[in-house]
Amino acid sequence: MGKASGKVALWWNPGFWFGSSVVAGAMLVPTWFWGAFSGALDVAEACTLGEGQRFDESYRQELGRQPSGPFPLHNMCNASYDLVPGWVNPTLAGLAVVVAGTLIAAGVTAVVQLRRVLAERRRRMGAVAS
């Protein structure tokens, strides 16, 4: 089923899936930091000087503290401009799905491999006993 020319196919190797989740997680963390700290320390200054946008203090007070949580990331200058780049939140969502999926695949393939090893041991023990 998972063998090709005597070797186990890569997708049946739990290490492949775990390694893939580590790589996706390593990409997720800096992406989150990029979005979370995209407004700098002084948001009003980042909006007016850095982005050329009008900073609306009353609008920010209506919204409450920003960024308020881990996802989705927002840091609004006014009602129409967000300091967090538009690619950050979709990328975070996609990478989170990849991390979760690859961790699930790592678990499933580990269980399958463990069952195969145990079945092979039982078969060998049965052959030795007879």
Residue % of the chain over a pLDDT of 70:
89
At residue 81, φ and ψ (nearest 5 deg) are: -135, 125
Calculate mean pLDDT across residues 28-49: 89
What pLDDT shows up at residue 70?
83
Write the DSSP string, the chain: --EETTEE-GGG-HHHHHHHHHHHHHHHHHHHHHHHTTT-S-HHHIIIIIS-----HHHHHHH-SSS-SSSS---EEETTEESS-TTHHHHHHHHHHHHHHHHHHHHHHHHHHHHHHHHHHHHHHHHHH-
- pLDDT per residue as tens digits for the range 81-109: 999 999 999 999 999 999 999 999 999 99
Tell me the whole-structure pTM to 2 decimals.
0.80
- Of residues 55 and 41, more confidently modeled: 55
- pLDDT per residue as tens digits for the range 119-129: 999 898 887 76
What pLDDT shows up at residue 130?
62
